[in-house]
Structure 1
Amino acid sequence: MTMHDDQVDVTTEIVAALIAEQFPRWSGRAIRPLSSSTGTVNAVFRIGDDLSARFPLRPADPGEVLAVLEREAEASAELAGVSRFPVPEPVALGKPGAGYPMPWSVQTWLPGTVASDADPSGSDAFAEDLAAFVAALRGAGTRGRVFSGDNRGGVLADHDDWMAQCFEESEGLLDVPQLREMWSRFRELPRTSADVMSHGDLIPGNVLVAGDRLSGVLDTGGFGPADPALDLVGAWHLLEAGPREVLRRALGCDDLEWERGKAWAFEQATGLVWYYVASNPAMSAMGRRTLDRILASTE
C-alpha cells in the first residue's frame, strides 16, 4: 500500500536508469531502497556506500520541485556548518527522466541506526546530545530571516483547520473530545520570543543513534527560522519523562516555551495517527506514542 493517494512510483530500475543517464560516474554502484516506515516525503535509495538519492513522492510542478530542492540543499549546507553532529551534505541535483517526472537530489550517506529502530528514549546521555544539537542551531543566528509561514513553526492557531480535519478523521481511533479540549488550550499559548534557527522535524526517523548517543541527524533541508519551541517536539517524539527533563534543563526552557513545544508535538502527532493508520503503521504508532506521552504529562 502506498502512503499517499497520488504517490509517484519509484523503483530501483528507474533510479539505476537516472544515474546511468545523468551521473554515469556512479553507474555500477549497488542501489538499495530504504524502508519507507519512517520517510513519508521522499523515496530514499542508497547509492553505493557513501551516497543516498531522494525522490519526492507526491507529484508537483518540476520547476517548483527544483526550487524546493535548491532551497533544501542550501539549508542542509548551512546546518552542516553549525552542527557538531554529522548531517547529510548536498552532492548533486538530478533532472526528470526514465519515467520519473520531477527533479531529485543526491546527498552524502550517514552510517547509523535510526532512533525508531534503536530506541534511545531512556538515555540521559542521548537527551544531552539532542539538547546540544538544538542549542547549536539556535545559536547559529537567523541573519534577519523570519519564519516563512509554511508548515509548523509560526502561530499555533493558524493550524485550526488542519486540527479540525484531524479530529474528524480520528473518530474511532482516538479520544477526540479529550484532544479537542487540549487543542483549545494549546492554540491560545502566546508567542513571546523571536525566531531561532530550527531543524523543524526531530522525529525518530530523522535521528541516528550509536549506543545510547546521538550519532547524526537526517532530513536537514527544513533548517530555517521558526518558533524556538518547534525543535522541542523531539522531547516528546524521542524521550521518556526523565531524559525529557534532562533536555529541558540543558536548554533552559521556561514553562511557556515548554508548553508550546508540547503543542507543536501534539499538532504533528495527531495528524500522523489517522493519516498513516493503514499506509504506514509504524508512523501512525509513533504518533500514538507521542500523544500518550503528552497525555501522561498532563495527568
Structure 2
Amino acid sequence: MERLHADELAADVPLVQALLRSQFPQYASWRVSRLADFGSSHVLFALDRADGSERLVIRMPRQPGGSATVHKEADWLPWVGDHLAVPTPAVVGVGEPGLGYPEAWSIMSWLHGRRADGLGGLRLAEDLAEFVSQLRATTVPAAATTDERLRWYRGDSLTTLDEDFQEAAAACRTLPIALDIDRALAVWSEAVAAAATRTAEKTWYHGDLLVENLLVDEQGELAGVLDFGGLGVGDPTIDLIVAWEALDRSARLAFWNALDVDDAQIAVSRGWALLIAFLTFPYYGATMPRRCADRLVMAQAAIEGD
C-alpha cells in the first residue's frame, strides 16, 4: 500500500473481506479489489457483485481520527446530495472498527464517469457553477450550525492563514517547482487584503472541489462530484479554486459570471488556490505526482490571474 503519512493505517483486501464477512455478510460473496486511483484520506476498494452487474466502493481512512469524516458524510451527505442536480455518492453502509483496524469505514455507491483531466470548457463551467450555486443555496439546518465536524480552516477567512502560507512558500523555495514564488507572495498579499474587506455569508461548501474529485462524461459534462470529506459550513469562497484548476480562461470567465463573482472574491480565490497548492508540494511531492501536477496547473493560473 502506498504510504502517504507517517501514521498510515494498514488496510488491504484480506482485511476488507474479513470486515465484510463480520459486519456486512450480504456482501461476503462479492469480489473485493484495490483500486488504482487513491486519495490522501482514504484507501479505496471496489466491491463488485459476482456477476459484474453492480459495483460499490469501500473507503478506508488512512489515518487515525478518520472515523469523524466517515460519520460526518453519513450524517450530512444525504441532506446535501438531495439538493444537488449532479450525482454524488450515496452512503450504503458504515462499518465499525474491528479486526485490528481502529476506524469506522464506509461503503458508498459507485458513480460512472471519467476523471476530469485537462482544462474544461464552457459546458463544464456551467455545470460547476450550477453545483456551487445549489450547494450554497442548500438550507443549513440548526444542527449543522453547531456540528464541529463541519468547521475547519477551509471555511475560515484567509486573514487567519498568513503564517501558514508564508511557511509553505518558504518550503516551496527549496523544491524544484516551476513557479515564481515572489509573484505568488504578491498575489497572496492582495488576496489577504481582499479577504479583510469581506464578510461572507456562511453556507455549505465542498472544501475540496478539485479535478481529482470531478467526474465527466464523454461530452465533457459534469457527471459526478466525489469525496465530501471536506464538507463544511462557513465562507464558501474555497470552492472557487476549481476555476483555476479545472477550467480554461474563457470557461473561467463564464464561471465567474454565472456565480456573479466580484473582483474581491476572485482575488481571495487566487489566494486559496495558492495556499492549497503550496501546502501540497512539500507534503505530497514524492508520493502523489499526479496531484502535484494538477496543483501546479492551478498555482500557475492563479499567479497569472486571467
TM-score between both structures, scaled by the size of structure 2:
0.88
Moved more, 266-275 or 139-148: 139-148
State whether residues 190 and 267 of structure 2, in contact with CA within 8 Å, keep that contact through their aligned partners in structure 1.
Answer: no
Give the match for residue 136 of structure 2.
138
Structure 2 residue 28 is the aligned partner of structure 1 residue 27: yes
State whether residues 240 and 293 of structure 1, in contact with CA within 8 Å, keep that contact through their aligned partners in structure 2.
Answer: no
Q: CA RMSD in A?
A: 1.9
Q: CA deviation at 1:70?
A: 1.8
Give the match for residue 219 of structure 1.
227
Give the match for residue 193 of structure 1.
200
Give the match for residue 265 of structure 2.
257
CA distance in 2, matches of 1:277, 1:67: 27
Task: Describe how 1:202-241 pairs up with structure 2 within 5 A.
Answer: 202-211=209-218, 212-241=220-249
Structure 2 residue 169 is the aligned partner of structure 1 residue 164: no
One-letter amino acid matched to 2:79: E
Give the match for residue 94 of structure 2.
93
Give the match for residue 152 of structure 1.
154
Identity between Structure 1 and Structure 2 (%): 30
CA distance in 2, matches of 1:67, 1:58: 11
The secondary structure found in structure 1 opposite 2:182 is helix
One-letter amino acid matched to 2:4: M
CA distance in 1, matches of 2:253, 2:169: 29
Structure 1: which 4+ aligned runs deviate by more than 6 Å? none
Structure 2 residue 93 is the aligned partner of structure 1 residue 53: no
Task: Describe how 1:269-280 pairs up with structure 2 within 5 A.
Answer: 269-280=277-288
CA distance in 2, matches of 1:32, 1:83: 30
Give the match for residue 76 of structure 1.
77
Give the match for residue 253 of structure 2.
245
The secondary structure found in structure 1 opposite 2:224 is strand
CA distance in 2, matches of 1:272, 1:5: 16
Give the match for residue 51 of structure 2.
none
Q: CA deviation at 1:288?
A: 0.8
Unaligned runs of at least 5 residues, structure 1: none
State whether residues 151 and 232 of structure 2, in contact with CA within 8 Å, keep that contact through their aligned partners in structure 1.
Answer: no
One-letter amino acid matched to 2:128: L
Q: CA deviation at 1:161?
A: 3.0
State whether residues 92 and 107 of structure 2, in contact with CA within 8 Å, keep that contact through their aligned partners in structure 1.
Answer: yes
CA distance in 2, matches of 1:222, 1:172: 29
CA distance in 1, matches of 2:4, 2:171: 16
Task: Describe how 1:117-132 pairs up with structure 2 within 5 A.
Answer: 119=118, 121-132=119-130
TM-score between both structures, scaled by the size of structure 1:
0.90
The CA deviation string for residues 147-168 of structure 1, in whole angstroms up to 9 with x for no partner, is 9541212110222232233123
Unaligned runs of at least 5 residues, structure 2: 49-53
One-letter amino acid matched to 1:208: L
State whether residues 157 and 187 of structure 1, in contact with CA within 8 Å, keep that contact through their aligned partners in structure 2.
Answer: yes
